[in-house]
Structure 1
Amino acid sequence: MNADSQTFAGERSPTPDEVDLATEVFRMLADSTRFRLLLALVDRELSVNDLAQALEKPSTGVSQHLAKLRLARLVATRRQGTHVYYRLENEHVRQLVVDVLDHAEHLGPSVPRHHQQQSHPITRRAAGDR
């Protein structure tokens, strides 16, 4: 069977370049600091200093991680005066972060928070109580 003619989720198969880009996204998520940065940006935009304070990390290190996330097009920036604010690039990034966290909850020994009566706020904001 020709790999180019296969379908994925009812659609055409991803191109090799798309697979490489998707792999790069997972590489960016594989770092706990970068994932925590994305998580902090799920529903708001924050400055480097705000993010550094939230993660209890030096702002220089946070800036370096944000630069990688920006190059990977996972975060975008907005400049206001001398301040730069970061936000998630789009709803797809937001959903990816929420879905990865939901999946991680399934790996633990207890009932995932997003399946409990009072689901966690990130998932609840993402798609309502499931």
Structure 2
Amino acid sequence: MPARESMPTAPGAHLRPPDSARLAEATEVFAMLSDVTRLHLLWLIAQGESDVGSLTERCEASRTAVSQHLAKLRLAGLVETRRDGRHVYYRLRDGHLRRLVMEALSHADHRVSGQAPHD
């Protein structure tokens, strides 16, 4: 069986072999996910659109730190914003990122809990 058919994929997955530009872009995404606070923020935002205040309460980080991490995530193109009066709401840019965050944390759960991996 060709390797392409054996790889589990999300619906509508892009299966072309990665070139240097795509590898560099993916590396940047993983670099943004490598910070504990940013990963936690992305997981929280994956649950639904949130503002800085609610993210600060749920993230256990200072408002300043949360704001700085959100700015980095926005500049990296991983989150988008929507203004409603004085509030700015954050949401994930796309479903690819949502699945990536959820899969990374599911993988971590298996490693921490000792559950056998699965596909």
Structure 1 vs Structure 2: percent identity of aligned residues? 48
Flag as ranges the 4+ runs of structure 1 deviating above 4 A. Answer: none
Q: Which has the larger radius of gyration?
A: 1
Is residue 88 of structure 2 the alignment partner of residue 45 of structure 1?
A: no
1:89–1:31 distance in 2 versus 1, CA, 3 Å: same
Equivalent residue number for residue 36 of structure 2 = 32
Question: Which among 102, 106, 111 is matched to residue 102 of structure 1?
Answer: 106
Q: How far apart in 1 are the matches of 2:17 and 2:114? A: 36
Q: How far apart in 2 are the matches of 1:105 and 1:80? A: 36
Equivalent residue number for residue 20 of structure 2 = 16
Q: How far does residue 109 in structure 1 lie from its aligned partner after superposition?
A: 4.5
Q: Which runs of 5+ in 1 are unaligned?
A: 1-7, 116-129
1:49–1:109 distance in 2 versus 1, CA, 3 Å: closer
TM-score, length basis structure 2? 0.81
1:109–1:51 distance in 2 versus 1, CA, 3 Å: closer
Q: How far does residue 12 in structure 1 lie from its aligned partner after superposition?
A: 3.2
Is residue 86 of structure 2 the alignment partner of residue 86 of structure 1?
A: no
1:45–1:109 distance in 2 versus 1, CA, 3 Å: closer
The higher-RCO structure (CA 8 Å, 6+ apart) is 2
- Give the SS at the match of 1:107: helix
Q: Which amino acid aligns with 2:68?
A: Q
Equivalent residue number for residue 77 of structure 1 = 81
- CA-based RMSD: 2.2
